[in-house]
Amino acid sequence: MAAAFLYCVCQVGAEAALKREVSARRPELRPAFARPGLVTFKAEGAAVDADQDPGSPLVRAWGASLGPAADHEAVFRALRGACPKGQAIRLQVFERDRWRPGEEPAGFAYGAAAAELRARLVAAWPEDLALAEGEAAAAGEWIADVILGEEGEPWLVGHHRHVGRRSAHPGGRIPVAEAPEAPSRAYYKLEEAIAWSAAPLRAGDVAVELGSAPGGASYALLRRGLAVHGIDPGAMDPRVLAFAGPEGPRFTHHACTMGQVQRSDLPRDLHWLISDVNLAPQIALQTLRRLGARPRRALLGVLCTLKLDDWKALRHLPGWLRQIEAMGMIEVAVTQLPRNRMELFAYGLTAAGVARRGRPAVAAAAP
Ligand SMILES: C[S@@+](CC[C@H](N)C(=O)[O-])C[C@H]1O[C@@H](n2cnc3c(N)ncnc32)[C@H](O)[C@@H]1O
């Protein structure tokens, strides 16, 4: 799909790093208009292929940018000029990030303003443009994107085809049902991670989590029916410690640093290795590798938060992904999840993990 401009959305604070990353990998793109959480690029010379991944894990969603629109008619005009005639368009309206993740005003959640505008656009939708029902994208569909910012700011209109590893959700914002009882926001991070990676976790699996306290991620795993070995010298939330299935408590706390845990302290059949430890990724990955090293025949995958000191640390990413691959993973990919802060999420699946998921491995998305 040819485009003269691209838009990319990302977390607030990542814009400059995203520009550097995309400009380095796609020299035909030159940074243009930007707002917090939103960067556009102009194609130098000929139009660029908007289907092609811009090549940075900081890009949560992207598409062809059709320019600003101040009213409904301007949105429809832009779409008429760009979308193929006679093909249904799926409308995705979303808000660009306006605060760093976790720093939103108390009680604020993205989505209300977008839902309201979407309803107004649908009500005014013209007959000459076919509209697909619903928001979540299916493979190959054409999506109209309308991006909201501050009140009074023109919307940005874009469009894209739902191909490749794009999120099906507007702006790549993965919906996770509220769980106010979860011990920490890591609950939401892990739920987003599972949704994005499509990691096939099942009740009865055994997971080890490095950096498990206070227990949001462990809580998400326990709720899904997994048994969890959490390694952290910090205190675990009592709800996690007390979480019991029909066969009794399912959480085991190794209240020590990960360096003090021996392979023999963990069950032989481990299915998932998870890390959210707030240490340099190479250290976390070394420990995952030590604890997960063969023979771990049951191992299905690794889900790992990679903590960054600053955006410059992105230069180490190819090496970190190779470390994950070296754990026997045949599919490895990385992104910045909506709720990730100065961190990325990477996962790997073994051949058994891919087989259980039931969809062929996608090529490693290592930059
Ligand atoms: C971001 S917090 C983890 C949040 C947690 N995953 C949750 O779901 O609530 C990072 C954790 O890493 C732990 N940590 C730091 N160094 C560690 C080490 N060497 N071994 C184990 N845990 C460590 C800290 O105690 C802290 O609880």
pLDDT, position 363: 64
Query: Does the reported pTM lie above 0.85?
Result: yes
Percent of all residues in the chain with a pLDDT value above 90, rounded to a whole number: 86
Same domain (yes/no): 306, 236 = yes
Residue that terminates a domain, selected from 172, 195, 216: 172
Give the end of a domain, one of 105, 138, 172: 172
Q: Closest residue (by CA) to atom 19 of ligand 1?
A: 257
365 vs 123 pLDDT, higher one: 123
Ligand 1 atom nearest to CA at 277: 12
Q: Do residues 254 and 337 share a domain?
A: yes
CA distances from 39 to 17, 31, 78, 114 (A): 11, 7, 19, 19
Tens of pLDDT, residues 285-321? 999 999 988 778 899 999 999 999 999 999 999 999 9
Short-list 247, 232, 248, 256, CA closest to 183 = 232
Residue 244 CB neighbour total at 10 angstroms? 11
Kindly report, residue by residue over 150-186, the tens digit of the pLDDT: 999 999 999 999 988 889 999 999 999 999 999 999 9
Q: 107 and 234: one domain?
A: no
Are 193 and 165 found together in one domain?
no
Q: Is the CB of 232 under 6 A from ligand 1?
A: yes
> Would you say 297 and 320 are in contact if contact means Cβ atoms under 8 Å apart?
no
Ligand 1 atom closest to Cα of residue 190: 8
Q: Is the CB of 212 inside a 6 Å radius of any atom of ligand 1?
A: yes
> How many whole angstroms from 149 Cα to the centroid of ligand 1?
35
Query: Given the CA of residue 216, which atom of ligand 1 is nearest to it?
Result: 8
- Check if 275 has its Cβ closer than 6 Å to any atom of ligand 1: no
Ligand 1 pocket check for 230: Cβ under 6 Å: no
Claim to verify: residue 94 and residue 195 sit in the same structural domain: no
Domain CATH for 301 = 3.40.50.150
User: Using one digit for the tens of pLDDT, what is the confidence trace for 302-312?
Assistant: 999 999 999 99
Q: How far apart are alpha carbons 6 and 92 in whole angstroms?
A: 16
Pocket lining: 172 vs ligand 1, CB cutoff 6 Å? no
Q: Using a 6 Å cutoff on CB, does residue 214 contact ligand 1?
A: yes
Ligand 1 mean position to 209 CA, how many Å?
Answer: 9
Distance 267 CA to ligand 1 centre (A): 21
Range of the domain at 40: 2-172
263, 288 Cβ separation under 8 angstroms:
no
How many whole angstroms separate alpha carbon 67 and alpha carbon 152? 16
- Does residue 195 share a domain with residue 118? no
What CATH number is associated with residue 90? 3.30.2130
Q: Quick check: CB of 257 below 6 Å from ligand 1?
A: yes
Answer whether 217's CB lies under 8 Å from 251's CB. no
Pocket of ligand 1 contains residue 184 by CB under 6 Å: yes
